[in-house]
Amino acid sequence: MHRLSRRQLTLLVLLTLVWGINWPVLKLGVGAYPPLTFRALSIWLGLPVLAAALLVLKVPFSLPRRHWPELLWLAATNMFVWHACIILAVRSLSSGRAAILGYTMPIFSAVIGAVVFSIALPRRGWLGVGAASLGVGLLLWHELTQLAGRPGGVLLALVAAATWALGTQLLRRTAIERPTLTISFWMTALTAVVMTGLAFTEASRWHAPNAVAWFAILFNAVLIFGFAHAVWFSLARALPPLASTLSVMLIPVVGVFSGAVWLGEAVHWQDQLAVVLMVVSIASVLWPVRPVRT
């Protein structure tokens, strides 16, 4: 099990708050603007923020040509599929349901790690996966009948989660010899191009964004693409895959409760119990192991 540094813990807390609050923000955004175009605009406006971070921190932009095939594969598994599928899922689901389904990612990651990469999970690792699975089930307790009527959104969210899980495993093993911020910048740039191409399928619905749409676009540009993605990739690359994935399991909880406050989505006792289980899940992989005395 891995112990977080103070800096990593601070970044994890900020990431949890920003990504959690973003779920109702996304719901507001796609309700006011075509979803794929909304996502493309957010990425293009966030890219200069990310570039400014590289300049301020004196991180190189250059990436050797030999790494571009791997970069493309990392971008596809970590960003292309996730952003295209999850933004369409948010359009058809509530923000809370989309967050819960999207954050089945750690469960997929554990399965992929065990089956594809032959990772043997310790007992505490299985405890974390089990607690996360039960927590997701409780969060979905009152949503199953509604979800059954929207299989398209459910399928999109699960495909997004499973692909992101594979991308997290691959990012931990990347052979690209560049800072994580450099990799994040180029993955974001490639995703901007891909999402722009997809956005043209909505050209007939393009119009000037209203105030709500602009708020959601700028929130995502600055805080999600300019900050949160870079932080996540840093944690995913530095921590073991199970530790990095389970460490963000409070994000869907924040998404559910912020959706309740902001959008009036219902909260039940099962959601409160799920909070406890998510804390257990995170503690199982991040709580320091007491050294054995000899």
Residue at 294 is within a domain:
no
Does the residue 291 lie in any domain? no
Tell me, yes or no, whether 1 lies in a domain.
Answer: no
The boundaries of the domain holding residue 146 are 6-286
Look at residue 14 and tell me whether its pLDDT is greater than 80.
Answer: yes
Alpha carbon distance 127, 246 (integer Å): 11
What pLDDT score was predicted for residue 271? 65
Q: Does 292 reside within a domain? A: no
Give domain status of residue 112, yes or no.
yes
Provide the percentage of residues in the chain whose pLDDT is more than 90.
47
Give domain status of residue 293, yes or no. no
**Would 130 be classed as within a structural domain?**
yes
Q: What is the pTM of this model?
A: 0.85
> Is residue 108 included in any domain, yes or no?
yes
pLDDT: which is higher, 38 or 119: 38
In this predicted structure, what is the pLDDT of residue 224? Answer: 95
pLDDT band of 225, cuts 50, 70, 90: very high
More confident residue, 28 or 246: 28
Report residue 139's pLDDT band, with 50, 70 and 90 as the boundaries.
Answer: low
Q: Residue type for 161, please?
A: A
What is the C-alpha separation between 254 and 202, in angstroms, rounded? 31
Does the pLDDT at position 231 exceed 70? yes
Task: Count how many domains the chain has.
Answer: 1
Handedness of CA 79, 83, 85, 89 (dihedral sign): positive
Amino acid at 234: S
Residue 173's CB is within 10 A of a number of other CB atoms, namely 9
What integer is the mean pLDDT of 180-200?
97
Ranked by mean pLDDT, which of 53-57, 154-158, 249-253, 264-268 comes out on top?
Answer: 53-57
Selected residue with higher pLDDT from 239 and 169: 169
Q: What is the pLDDT of residue 3?
A: 67
Q: Where are the beta strands (DSSP E) in the chain?
A: none
Higher pLDDT, 75 or 158: 75
| 75-92 pLDDT tens trace | 999 999 999 999 998 988
CB 50 within 8 A of CB 189: no
> Which residues contact residue 93 at a Cβ distance below 8 angstroms, ignoring those fewer than 6 apart?
101, 147, 150, 153, 154, 157
CA distances to 23, 226, 227 from 28, in Å: 9, 20, 20
Distance CA 264, CA 276 (A): 23
CA 237 – CA 245 distance, rounded (Å): 11
Distance between CA atoms of residues 146 and 238, nearest Å: 38
Is the model more confident about 206 or about 151?
206
Mean pLDDT, rounded, for 232-239: 86
